[in-house]
Structure 1
């Protein structure tokens, strides 16, 4: 499994010196992750589901986490602050050889941890991990056109807008477009 060399990274993040731990999710995280998902579903309109819509059981989540751990081009990353899941990032590629080099990610952070740099740390981890796989050559994402903070973060990391998808979200009786953004990456040189 190629996730092993990225097992855990510590960052001093907050002004009060709380530590941020980034690590791959484990099957035993399933219950806590579902609680996290339900909380963010009620806090953010930038994700594709609302409260009660995620629809996975603890057993299904545990099985999913076990499966992700066996796929060298998939990542489920957890950000922890003071023992609490503060954020997550998921990434997966296509399974067939012609599309295995490109994948899409999604990132979520609890509202109380917004604007502290957790998203940037998750994204930096993803890019480093992807380079290390020597398989992944393209990272894609979709972001609401009105999510200016996220767009700024992605552009700062080198992502470029590659297109606009109309009517991707429907909230409060309105359609919302998204940008499709991508980052072409080169693998780390072999040592």
Structure 2
């Protein structure tokens, strides 16, 4: 995949395939993103991935046909990332699960949308039949973006997550098919 440059208002950024040299920055960015939103599964520090963990992940994602790890970079700093992770199991090898994270300072610059669009382009050109994702019911902007990108609701996991307000929220399961 070639590097793609985007300019949105006053921000210029590139979307590209992750390199092992990105591992340290990705570890820090993921930790920061987890502390900036409750839309993700983790609280800050949970499920921590170190630099070496990211190096392993990136290496596997670069060598397996049903995996893609993208980063968004602005002025030499990673501002977001996405992954499409496929299964090693034959019965599930036709699908990938999409996940995305963008630093809060960069929300509204279409970073998540461009990471998603490049993932869709990759998925459509790599004989993968289904791309899935999970989104918290309160993340209305993301749900609308996914629907506009051809995703449909496949199901709902009721009272799936308990957030800091003590209430339980549902997770929406979405998919797009080729």
Shorter-chain TM-score tier: over 0.9
Q: Secondary structure at the match of 2:169?
A: strand
Deviation at 1:7, TM superposition (A): 3.3
Deviation at 1:167, TM superposition (A): 2.2
Calculate the aligned-residue CA RMSD, in Å. Answer: 1.1
Quote the residue 1:114 is aligned against: 107
The answer to whether residue 144 in structure 2 is matched with residue 152 in structure 1 is: yes
Deviation at 1:28, TM superposition (A): 1.1
Q: Secondary structure at the match of 2:34?
A: helix
| Of 3, 22, 26, the match for 1:29 | 22
Gapped regions of structure 1 (runs ≥ 5)? 1-5, 186-191
Deviation at 1:106, TM superposition (A): 0.7
| Of 9, 12, 33, the match for 1:15 | 9
Q: Secondary structure at the match of 1:116?
A: coil
| Of 29, 32, 45, the match for 2:38 | 45
Quote the residue 1:179 is aligned against: 172
Deviation at 1:97, TM superposition (A): 2.1
1:88-120 CA distance string (max 9 Å, x none): 101111212221111111111111110111111
Distance 2:68 2:161 in 1: 25
Contact 2:31 2:48 in 1 (8 A): no
Distance 2:113 2:58 in 1: 23
Give the total of aligned pairs: 177
Q: If the length of structure 1 is used for normalisation, what is the TM-score?
A: 0.89
Distance 2:89 2:17 in 1: 23
Contact 1:38 1:54 in 2 (8 A): no
Contact 1:165 1:180 in 2 (8 A): yes
Distance 1:34 1:104 in 2: 20
Q: Which runs of 4+ in 1 moved over 2 A?
A: 54-57
Contact 1:165 1:177 in 2 (8 A): yes
| Of 50, 56, 70, the match for 2:49 | 56
Q: Secondary structure at the match of 2:65?
A: coil
Q: Secondary structure at the match of 1:51?
A: coil
